[in-house]
Amino acid sequence: MGQAALNIAAGEGVTVIATTRNRERFTTLEALCASKVLEEGPGMSQRVRELYPQGADAVLELVGNSTVLDSLKMVRRGGRLCEAGWLGGLTPIAEFNPLTQMPSGVQFSLFGSFEEIQEAHRLMESNQANGKIVVVV
């Protein structure tokens, strides 16, 4: 889903910062026209803010609840965060207080397809798929 979003955004002329846990994927993401590729890890919002001090216009959060608070710190005032993946699981966010942890003026939305998507991602990440993975909802 991330690569598809990157492809669509780049096709529309959007400056895209792509992230990955695997440095071997940098070349692939750059070939898909990512303007910058960062290795996922602690302090991601700080690294994004070093590149774009005003913050990002929009963030597509695919890891989920374990990283959503850091993703919120990346978004500029008037920007948007869409949480659309839960690769990191659905563990509730401990001590989440929107009044103190969400930047003023940021729109936060969810897009969830809770069917077989998680299992499809597990299969993909394990490199055990022998081709395309198609999920029918």
pLDDT in tens, 67-89: 899 999 999 999 999 998 877 77
pTM listed for this prediction: 0.78
Q: Which of 89, 79, 82 is nearest to 114 (CA)?
A: 89
pLDDT in tens, 3-15: 889 999 999 999 9
Q: Does 131 lie in the same domain as 87?
A: yes
48 found inside a domain: no
Q: Does 111 lie in the same domain as 88?
A: yes
CA 20 vs CA 39, 62, 103, 113: distances in Å: 5, 11, 25, 22
Q: Does 112 lie in the same domain as 69?
A: yes
Query: What percent of the chain is predicted at pLDDT more than 70?
Result: 96
Number of domains in the chain: 2
Partners of residue 61 on adjacent β-strands: 83
Q: Does 28 lie in the same domain as 63?
A: no
Provide the residue range defining the domain that includes 90. 55-137
Q: Which helix (H) or strand (E) holds 50?
A: helix 44-51
50 found inside a domain: no
Q: Which pLDDT does position 10 carry in this prediction?
A: 93
